[in-house]
Amino acid sequence: MSDVTLTPPSGVLTLTGGDPIISGATTVVVPGPAVVVVSASEPIITGAMTVITPAAALLTVTGSAPIITGVVKTVSPAKASLTLTGGAPNVTISRVTCDVIVAAVEKQKLVEERIRREQPVGRIWDAEWNCQHVMGSEYSAKFSWISNDTGPGQTEFPFESPIAQWIYDYQGRIDRGEGRTVGITIDYGARWSGILDKFSVEQREDGDRVLVVDWVHDYEQLKWYYCVPNPFLPDAFQAPRAWIAAGPCTWVLRLTLFLAIWREHNPFLTWPDDPLDFRNWATMGLDISNWHTVVKPESFLDAMASGVVWSVVSSRWESFHDMAHYMLEDSELSVVCRRYLPGDPDPWPGANLRYGTLVIDFADKSGIQIGTSNGGNVFDGLVRTVNEFADDFLDSTSELISDAVTPTEYFSVNKRYTDRVKPYVIFYEGDTSAVQTSSWIYSPTKGVQISVGGHSAPGTNEVISASIQALGDVLGNLVQIGSLGGTIDTLLAPLYEDTILAWQSYKSNERANNTGWDRLFSYFQQGAGKAYTISALLVLRAGLWATKTVVSWKVSVADGRPYLVGDQGQGHFFLDDRVGLVLSADNKIHMDRCRRLDLGWGPDSPPEWTINIGDERIWQDPAQRALGRIERLIAGLHNLGVW
């Protein structure tokens, strides 16, 4: 061995076997605490100049006469594991591997910097989704992506511009066959698509006339499809009372939405736009190639294999958004809306759709039911947990799992995405950080016991009443007065009604053991009505949900640096992906879903992202948090006739 150097100390170099040789014309450098294990017969590691194993790497060479050679440098990247086994394994590096890696990194930096400097591509479409104008004259623009809800958008155009004149000429658009609807798409790492909500003409103080256009995201379409009790029957004849479907959450949502959209195109249920077109009647509305909104298909078996929770949907003429909203929140699923435009890949293999079609998908970006990270620290990394129901099926717990394997795609230079199992994006506060402002808020769990009720369980008052009447009748007959049961029951009813089995309480052992000695004790959740019923159990869980720990934080980052915001492989993360934040005050990684993204730009400001992470329910009190959910539960039970 010639000129062998361990830099810095604490590196481990183990040489075993027959005549191991490590030679270098200059040096062999093993930075600590790396481990190099060379074993078997006559292993040889040679380098014309240097052989390098970076810190935390593990280089294991085994087998008969293994050889690693490099004309200039041989490099094992940090935290990698290089294992050579078998008969006479041979790895030969004929180029400057380290320089190649540096060059690739620099090239990728230039690519990402060029992406950041690009301007958003905005296009204005008519009702038939034919492109009419390309934006570029706007004074300002702002668009929002909101998780499972309609995001607003707004643009300001000079009133004299061609875009403003075309939008303002609403009657001319109808006369020319371009339709009343106006569509818009914005492409900048991701696609925001929507339709016109309203516009106004404003006269500013500086004399400029401006057309202010308000847009709504395509998610708005889901608020205008209603889930009827029986999607196969006309509106006038609806039986049974409510639509019910059970299965994997994504599958039942797809099925329910598909049937709601199908009703629009079924000529026997909804009068067609052109009743003389025989194709409308022949296909029964099942030819989705002309639908303006479609659902991305998924088989029942694929949905089961994906690991999403099972759910039961019920609706009695509710909008799809109202019906599905709390189901999506509970299972942490995401609705993905994307317009299919020229140049886009097919939404799914074999898809035959018209350009401009809105494709609805349901994605599990959270991974909370199959295992994901809810936090960690900068020393040990992310901790992977899976969300499970407790034994009572009311509370939820997070179970630690240890098989957190780093996705291999993370090591691909041109691959930009985040994996739900092991999220990639983590922002760090600090003097040199790209984080401009941040606000992190924590609201701990409140109360260890939840109480519901107010009325006796079904049958309780009736049993007491029947017993009093029977006893009164017997006593009345014994004294020859006649039946006294009804009279006595009327007098005593105010005293015994809703006094037995009228209240129900549940104490969370997890909260009791972890909250501490001094704690808030009980919280009464209204809305259950009768205790010890299905509705009471549902309201109990709603009370636990309303008083659970809530974390929310907002971060303003210069265009998402050092990451790119975008989907479809154009960015490292996007809406509903899990994102981490390391506060300068500690070394903990706070992890949550990205619930809102705002993109805005103007004449003097480049495009910039504002990122909102976490649950905005932190600003609401527990009663307000649970109100909407309980109303939905009670309405569903009324519809099913089990209230």
Q: What is the DSSP string of 538-562?
A: HHHHHHHHHTS-EEEEEEEEGGGTT
The stretch 518-539 carries a mean pLDDT of: 81
Reading the block at residue 333, the tokens are: 């699923």
307/376 same-domain check? no
Would you state the pLDDT for residue 39?
52
The secondary structure element, H or E, covering residue 217 is strand 209-217
The stretch 211-216 carries a mean pLDDT of: 97
Question: Of 338, 363, 388, which one is at a domain's C-terminal end?
Answer: 363
Residue 262 counted as domain residue: yes
Query: What is the Cα–Cα distance from 363 to 302, expressed in whole angstroms?
Result: 13
Reading the block at residue 490, the tokens are: 């009327």
Residue 484 has pLDDT above 60, yes or no: yes
Please state, in angstroms and as integers, the Cα–Cα distance from residue 92 to each residue in 48, 55, 71, 97, 483, following that order: 12, 22, 8, 11, 106
Q: pLDDT higher for 490 or 384?
A: 490
Question: Of 363, 383, 403, which one is at a domain's C-terminal end?
Answer: 363
Residue 25 has pLDDT above 60, yes or no: no
* Lowest-pLDDT range of 214-218, 236-240, 414-418, 543-547: 414-418
Residue 544 has pLDDT above 90, yes or no: no
**Pair type for strands 152-158 and 209-217:** antiparallel
Would you state the pLDDT for residue 542?
77
Residues whose CB falls within 8 Å of the CB of residue 467, separated by 6 or more in sequence, listed in order: none
Query: What is the Cα–Cα distance from 51 to 563, expressed in whole angstroms?
Result: 32
C-alpha angle 176/180/184, rounded to 5°? 105
Find, among 590, 188, 615, the residue nearest to 423 by Cα: 590
Would you state the pLDDT for residue 170?
92
Residue 24 has pLDDT above 70, yes or no: no
Would you state the pLDDT for residue 476?
85
* Lowest-pLDDT range of 14-28, 126-140, 214-228, 558-572: 14-28
Find, among 261, 260, 267, the residue nearest to 283 by Cα: 267
339/257 same-domain check? yes
Q: Which residue shows structure tokens 């029977």?
A: 470
pLDDT cut 90: percent of the chain above it: 27
The stretch 167-192 carries a mean pLDDT of: 94
**Pair type for strands 50-52 and 27-29:** parallel
Query: What is the Cα–Cα distance from 582 to 464, expressed in whole angstroms?
Result: 61
The stretch 91-106 carries a mean pLDDT of: 63
Highest mean pLDDT: which range of 55-59, 107-111, 297-301, 440-444: 297-301
Residue 77 has pLDDT above 50, yes or no: no
For residue 595, how many other CB atoms are within 10 A of its CB?
21
Query: What is the Cα–Cα distance from 370 to 191, expressed in whole angstroms?
Result: 28
Residue 305 counted as domain residue: yes
The secondary structure element, H or E, covering residue 265 is helix 249-265
Q: Would you say the C-alpha torsion 335, 545, 617, 564 has a positive or negative sign?
A: negative
Amino acid at 334: S
List the end-to-end C-alpha distance of the chain, in Å, as a whole number.
84
Would you state the pLDDT for residue 346?
94
Residue 518 counted as domain residue: no
Find, among 565, 573, 578, 568, the residue nearest to 609 by Cα: 565
Amino acid at 548: K
Query: What is the Cα–Cα distance from 17 to 62, expressed in whole angstroms?
Result: 10
Q: For 221-269, what is each residue's pLDDT tens digit?
A: 999 999 998 888 888 888 888 888 888 899 999 999 999 999 888 877 7
Q: Domain residues for 210?
A: 123-218
Reading the block at residue 143, the tokens are: 């668009």
* Lowest-pLDDT range of 6-15, 101-110, 131-140, 158-167: 6-15
Would you state the pLDDT for residue 76?
46
Residue 528 near residue 539, CB atoms below 8 Å: yes
- The alpha carbon of residue 205 and the mean position of all alpha carbons in its chain are separated, in whole angstroms, by 43
Q: For 43-73, what is each residue's pLDDT tens digit?
A: 555 554 445 554 444 555 555 555 555 444 4
Residue 315 has pLDDT above 90, yes or no: no
Q: pLDDT higher for 273 or 205?
A: 205
Q: For 111-120, what is each residue's pLDDT tens digit?
A: 877 877 788 9
Residue 150 counted as domain residue: yes
Quote the crossing angle between the two packed helices 249-265 and 320-331, to the nearest 10°.
160
Question: Of 218, 249, 274, which one is at a domain's C-terminal end?
Answer: 218
Would you state the pLDDT for residue 294?
96
Query: What is the Cα–Cα distance from 419 to 156, expressed in whole angstroms?
Result: 37
* Lowest-pLDDT range of 431-440, 461-470, 603-612, 616-625: 616-625
Residue 530 counted as domain residue: no
The secondary structure element, H or E, covering residue 5 is strand 4-5
Residue 254 near residue 319, CB atoms below 8 Å: no
346/493 same-domain check? no
Burial of 449 (0-12, 13-18, 19+ CB in 10 A): middle
Would you state the pLDDT for residue 195?
96
pLDDT cut 70: percent of the chain above it: 70
210/190 same-domain check? yes
Beta bridge partners of 441: 552
Residue 407 counted as domain residue: yes
Dihedral pair phi/psi, residue 108, rounded to 5°: -65, -35
246/189 same-domain check? no
Query: What is the Cα–Cα distance from 122 to 273, expressed in whole angstroms?
Result: 31
Residue 178 counted as domain residue: yes
- Order of all β-strands in the sheet with 58-61: 12-15, 35-38, 58-61, 81-84
Please state, in angstroms and as integers, the Cα–Cα distance from residue 555 to each residue in 328, 426, 429, 583, 610, following that order: 24, 12, 10, 11, 7
Would you state the pLDDT for residue 548?
79
Dihedral pair phi/psi, residue 566, rounded to 5°: 165, 165
Three-class secondary structure assignment of 619-638:
HCCHHHHHHHHHHHHHHHHH
Q: Would you say the C-alpha torsion 122, 123, 124, 129 has a positive or negative sign?
A: negative
Residue 83 has pLDDT above 70, yes or no: no
Please state, in angstroms and as integers, the Cα–Cα distance from residue 592 to each residue in 48, 267, 373, 416, 544, following that order: 49, 45, 9, 19, 20
Query: What is the Cα–Cα distance from 123 to 155, expressed in whole angstroms?
Result: 12
206/257 same-domain check? no
178/327 same-domain check? no
Split into its structural domains, the chain has a count of 5
Q: Sorting pLDDT into bands at 50, 70 and 90, what band is 399?
A: very low
For residue 565, how many other CB atoms are within 10 A of its CB?
27
CATH number of 602's domain: 2.30.300
Query: What is the Cα–Cα distance from 620 to 598, expressed in whole angstroms?
Result: 22
Residue 81 counted as domain residue: yes
Residue 17 has pLDDT above 60, yes or no: no
464/432 same-domain check? no
Q: Sorting pLDDT into bands at 50, 70 and 90, what band is 404?
A: low
Residue 416 has pLDDT above 70, yes or no: yes
Residue 32 has pLDDT above 70, yes or no: no
249/352 same-domain check? yes
What average pLDDT is seen over the chain?
A: 77
559/412 same-domain check? yes
146/251 same-domain check? no
The stretch 290-315 carries a mean pLDDT of: 88
Reading the block at residue 376, the tokens are: 């960690």
Residue 400 has pLDDT above 70, yes or no: no
DSSP state of 330: H
494/411 same-domain check? no
